[in-house]
């Protein structure tokens, strides 16, 4: 790449980086939809269903079938309760502190407030989660932490918390009384407690008559309807009360002690494992089976529709409780290990021969090539995608047999039709990239091969030892990583492995998963959360970026450099840096491992475990042209009603030539890949 093109890029890369930095704070599920995160609660209020859960999962629906993702929630938020009253929604939960920037980790309460169910105001309540919320008598009342009650007239300004020696697990309003239920301990034995208040500010505490004689009872939930309170408990009893003071045990018992209870459309509703229990009076119950194998956490009923939610983003709706319809859609649930973009197409590859392709980031087509293949990486160059991994003779493996895997390699010109190629080695293929007209391929022994077309291969570098990590080229050096960093400057000999031990954490030797080069700098990431940078691959600087989460660091799987920015993905997190020194966390709202990332001209895509695909908010670098630059590969996109023209110079006589004839058209836009390593190009749009 010559200096002229670098000067052209310098004028726009700052804009590129800023545009993407904003977009990376909001992500949208593309597979499965509408979400894969656990859903903890669902309610019908104000004419809308509202479902919420872990890692920022927050959905609304007017009919229980078509769901809209609310993106104003942080991926650090886990939401547990929904209330509506006075024309305002209030959603409560917990927001994990950004412990990458605030090492003294503490969980804060999160409160989301909306008057229309579409536009939400997010606020933090320090120190304790907002676990339960209800509305009555013109006031919102919530449980903060496990032992405190707070109240608010608008959902924004909250009174000082009132503490109790009770672990609250249910909260409701009815008959002019707020009622919270839970349990305390007497001589290390759990005993039931109820507190009641007419205004949400002054409370009476008592052990309810009818429950005092019951040993080891923990009240788990409460709802009000048809003039009656209904509470569930552990063990599996159901209790009813008309005033919250005197309770009667029902002859009906649930199967699970954590059964949740709610009230809607004139019915009490209990989720009992994967069984829906319904009752008019809280005493006589009918049972219906909820299909599926995901744990169901919450149920509501509104506008004649039952809606249940649960783990793994499970959502199902039914008008009769017998026939259920799920809006969830998934093209695959298999691990996706990598993703690449070129010629207007995103391609993602993974286990059991999985290959997916998309031209719009929303709809993904399955082009898998057989369960005996296992793809680790995918790259584009020279007009073709190349997917690499390993192949097994038979899947699953017959008992008592030992299978010998071999390298697997497939090519495609469009991401849709794939052709097997002969791999240059029988070893598993673990990494690949394209640079200046050559594919670089690494197998698990550390041997590196090159090819101009993805079909004819030459062994360029010998094996360096067991090596499953990535590789990168820059500053005249090729670096391969795994147990350490191996460096070659001449394509024939390797330096001894440089083992990285992070003094900022535990000084253990780090397993390096991937490496990228950009802005004159190598950046590598590890399986224990390490990030380090180097100019030469020999001398490394550690970047103090450790995420403590339950005592474990974030394992990083992939790092790339594009559009002037390093971009790394790990478990639940994305981190970015323009200079390799300061790293910024982004939380896309996932509870699983992220394994691959790709830059497109309009947005970024990340993939991971169990078929997870997420797309960032769209970004734009001005009207008309969008682009991404990965190494020397420039991906351009522009509207089909314009022509894009290129010139090698802006001095003297301009020599503009049209590029439209070579472009791929998709969804109203043109896409074109340009190799800018051999000369400068300036681009403009023409009508």
Share of the chain above pLDDT 70, in %: 79
How far apart are alpha carbons 625 and 684 in whole angstroms?
8
Q: Is 56 helix (H, G, I), strand (E, B) or coil?
A: helix
Q: Determine the average pLDDT of the residues in 319-346.
A: 92
Distances (CA, A) of 293 to 207, 220, 252, 436: 38, 23, 25, 50
pLDDT tens profile 122-133: 888 877 888 899
Same domain flag for 145 and 201: no
In a domain, 300, yes or no: no
Same domain flag for 27 and 40: no
Domain end among 153, 183, 204 = 153
Nearest to 322 by CA among 360, 357, 291, 284: 291
Specify the CATH number for the domain of residue 212: 2.115.10.20
* CB half-sphere exposure, 154, CA atoms < 13 A: 4
How far apart are alpha carbons 263 and 188 in whole angstroms?
33
Same domain flag for 477 and 370: no
More confident call, 663 vs 132: 132
Q: Determine the average pLDDT of the residues in 73-101.
A: 79
Confidence band, pLDDT 50/70/90 cuts, at residue 528 = confident
Confidence band, pLDDT 50/70/90 cuts, at residue 659 = low
Q: Determine the average pLDDT of the residues in 386-395.
A: 85
More confident call, 174 vs 26: 174
More confident call, 252 vs 655: 252
In a domain, 183, yes or no: yes
Let me know the angle formed at the C-alpha of 400 by 398 and 404, rounded to the nearest 5 degrees.
70
Name residue, tokens 């497109």: 600
In a domain, 298, yes or no: no
Q: Determine the average pLDDT of the residues in 484-503.
A: 78
Burial of 15 (0-12, 13-18, 19+ CB in 10 A): middle
> Does residue 418 have a pLDDT over 80?
yes
Specify the CATH number for the domain of residue 542: 2.130.10.10
Nearest to 97 by CA among 571, 551, 548: 548
Confidence band, pLDDT 50/70/90 cuts, at residue 442 = very high
Distances (CA, A) of 604 to 58, 361, 531, 618: 21, 9, 21, 8
Residue 24 confidence (pLDDT): 84
Supply the mean pLDDT for the chain: 82
Q: Around Cβ 286, how many Cβ atoms within 10 Å?
A: 11
> Does residue 32 have a pLDDT over 80?
yes
Same domain flag for 73 and 179: no
Residue 20 confidence (pLDDT): 54
Same domain flag for 455 and 528: no
User: Which H or E element spans position 415?
Assistant: none
Same domain flag for 598 and 474: yes
Confidence band, pLDDT 50/70/90 cuts, at residue 163 = very high
Yes or no: say if 162 and 200 are a contact pair by the CB < 8 Å rule: no
The region of weakest confidence among 241-250, 486-495, 562-571 is: 486-495
The region of weakest confidence among 289-293, 362-366, 402-406, 582-586 is: 402-406
In a domain, 26, yes or no: yes
Confidence band, pLDDT 50/70/90 cuts, at residue 199 = very high
Same domain flag for 474 and 451: no
In a domain, 148, yes or no: yes
Specify the CATH number for the domain of residue 454: 2.120.10.80
The region of weakest confidence among 201-215, 283-297, 383-397 is: 201-215
How would DSSP label each residue in 474-505? ETTEEEEESSSEEEESSSS--PPPB--B-TTT
Same domain flag for 44 and 25: no
> Does residue 148 have a pLDDT over 90?
yes
Q: Which domain holds residue 517?
A: 1-31+469-618
Domain end among 459, 489, 519 = 459
Q: Which residues pair with 434 in a beta bridge?
A: 439
Residue 491 confidence (pLDDT): 63
The region of weakest confidence among 157-171, 365-379, 543-557 is: 543-557
Residue 9 confidence (pLDDT): 39
Confidence band, pLDDT 50/70/90 cuts, at residue 187 = confident
Nearest to 573 by CA among 40, 127, 120, 96: 96
Distances (CA, A) of 137 to 157, 175, 230: 16, 10, 20
Distances (CA, A) of 18 to 13, 25, 136, 626: 9, 12, 45, 14
Same domain flag for 607 and 477: yes
Confidence band, pLDDT 50/70/90 cuts, at residue 5 = very low
Confidence band, pLDDT 50/70/90 cuts, at residue 43 = very high
pLDDT tens profile 546-566: 543 333 467 899 999 887 789
The region of weakest confidence among 225-239, 311-325, 404-418, 440-454 is: 225-239
Yes or no: say if 275 and 287 are a contact pair by the CB < 8 Å rule: yes
What total of structural domains would you count in the chain? Answer: 5
Same domain flag for 357 and 484: no
> Does residue 332 have a pLDDT over 80?
yes
In a domain, 168, yes or no: yes
Q: Is 124 helix (H, G, I), strand (E, B) or coil?
A: strand
The region of weakest confidence among 1-15, 80-94, 447-461 is: 1-15
How far apart are alpha carbons 389 and 418 in whole angstroms?
14
Sort residue 514 into left (φ over 0), alpha (ψ -120 to 50) or beta: beta
Name residue, tokens 């640079």: 435
Yes or no: say if 158 and 126 are a contact pair by the CB < 8 Å rule: no
> Does residue 83 have a pLDDT over 80?
yes
Same domain flag for 437 and 336: yes
In a domain, 303, yes or no: no
Yes or no: say if 202 and 239 are a contact pair by the CB < 8 Å rule: no
Yes or no: say if 205 and 197 are a contact pair by the CB < 8 Å rule: no
Residue 584 confidence (pLDDT): 87
Residue 457 confidence (pLDDT): 93
Confidence band, pLDDT 50/70/90 cuts, at residue 60 = very high
Yes or no: say if 439 and 454 are a contact pair by the CB < 8 Å rule: yes
Distances (CA, A) of 81 to 116, 270, 305: 17, 16, 20
pLDDT tens profile 612-652: 999 998 865 444 556 666 556 666 666 666 677 777 665 55
Q: Is 265 helix (H, G, I), strand (E, B) or coil?
A: coil
Same domain flag for 242 and 119: no
Domain end among 407, 425, 459 = 459
In a domain, 282, yes or no: yes
More confident call, 351 vs 273: 351
């Amino acid at each position: 790449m010559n200096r002229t093109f670098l000067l052209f890029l310098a004028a726009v890369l700052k804009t590129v980086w800023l545009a993407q930095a904003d977009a990376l704070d909001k992500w949208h599920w593309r597979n499965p939809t509408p979400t894969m995160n656990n859903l903890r609660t669902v309610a019908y209020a104000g004419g809308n269903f509202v479902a919420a859960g872990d890692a920022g999962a927050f959905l609304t629906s007017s009919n229980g079938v078509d769901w809209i993702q609310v993106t104003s929630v942080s991926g650090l938020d886990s939401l547990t309760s929904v209330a509506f009253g006075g024309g305002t929604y209030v959603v409560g939960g917990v927001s994990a502190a950004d412990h990458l920037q605030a090492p003294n980790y503490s969980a804060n309460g999160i409160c989301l407030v909306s008057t229309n169910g579409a536009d939400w105001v997010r606020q933090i309540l320090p120190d304790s989660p907002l676990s339960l919320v209800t509305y009555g008598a013109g006031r919102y009342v919530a449980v903060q932490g496990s032992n405190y009650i707070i109240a608010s007239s608008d959902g924004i300004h909250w009174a000082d918390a009132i503490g109790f020696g009770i672990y609250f697990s249910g909260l409701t309003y009815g008959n002019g009384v707020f009622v919270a239920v839970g349990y305390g301990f007497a001589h290390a034995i759990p005993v039931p407690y109820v507190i009641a208040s007419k205004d949400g500010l002054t409370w009476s505490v008592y052990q309810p008559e009818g429950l005092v004689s019951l040993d080891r009872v923990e009240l788990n939930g409460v709802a009000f309807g048809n003039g009656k309170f209904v509470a569930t408990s552990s063990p599996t009893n159901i209790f009813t009360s008309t005033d919250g003071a005197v309770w009667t045990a029902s002859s009906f018992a649930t199967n699970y002690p954590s059964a949740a209870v709610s009230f809607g459309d004139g019915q009490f509703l209990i989720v009992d494992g994967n069984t829906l229990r319904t009752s008019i009076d809280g005493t006589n119950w009918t049972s219906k089976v909820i299909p599926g194998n995901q744990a169901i956490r919450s149920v509501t009923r509104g506008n004649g529709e039952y809606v249940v939610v649960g783990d793994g983003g499970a959502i199902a709706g039914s008008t009769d409780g017998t026939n259920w319809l799920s809006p969830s859609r998934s093209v695959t649930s298999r691990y996706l290990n990598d993703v690449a973009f070129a010629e207007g197409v995103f391609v993602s590859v993974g286990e059991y021969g999985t290959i997916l392709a998309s031209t719009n980031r929303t709809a993904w087509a399955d082009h898998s090539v057989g369960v005996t293949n296992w793809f680790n990486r995918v790259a584009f160059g020279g007009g073709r995608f190349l997917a690499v991994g390993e192949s097994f003779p038979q899947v699953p493996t017959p008992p008592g047999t030992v299978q010998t895997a071999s390298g697997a390699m497939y090519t495609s010109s469009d991401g849709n039709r794939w052709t097997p190629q002969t791999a240059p080695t029988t070893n598993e293929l673990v990494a690949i990239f394209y640079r200046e007209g050559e594919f670089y391929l690494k197998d698990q022994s550390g041997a590196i091969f090159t090819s101009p077309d993805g079909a004819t291969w030459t062994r360029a570098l010998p094996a360096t030892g067991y090596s499953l990590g990535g590789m990168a080229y820059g500053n005249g050096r090729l670096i391969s990583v795994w147990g350490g960093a191996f460096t070659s400057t001449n394509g024939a000999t390797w330096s001894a492995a440089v083992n990285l031990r992070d003094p900022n954490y535990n000084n253990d030797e780090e397993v390096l998963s991937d490496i990228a080069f950009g802005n004159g700098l190598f950046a590598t990431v590890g399986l224990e959360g390490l990030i380090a940078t180097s100019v030469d691959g020999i001398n490394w600087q550690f970047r103090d970026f450790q995420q403590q989460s339950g005592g474990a660091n974030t394992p990083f799987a992939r790092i790339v450099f594009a559009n002037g920015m390093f971009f790394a993905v790990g478990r639940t997190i994305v981190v970015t840096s323009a200079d390799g020194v300061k790293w910024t966390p982004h939380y896309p709202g996932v509870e699983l491992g992220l394994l691959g990332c790709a830059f497109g001209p309009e947005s970024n895509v990340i993939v991971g475990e169990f078929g997870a695909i997420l797309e960032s908010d769209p970004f734009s670098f001005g009207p008309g042209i969008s682009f991404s630059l990965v190494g020397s590969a420039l991906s351009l996109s522009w509207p089909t009603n314009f022509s894009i023209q290129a010139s090698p110079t802006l001095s003297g006589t301009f020599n503009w030539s049209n590029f439209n004839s070579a472009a791929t058209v998709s969804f109203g836009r043109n896409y074109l890949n340009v190799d800018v390593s051999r000369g400068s190009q300036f681009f403009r749009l023409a009508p």
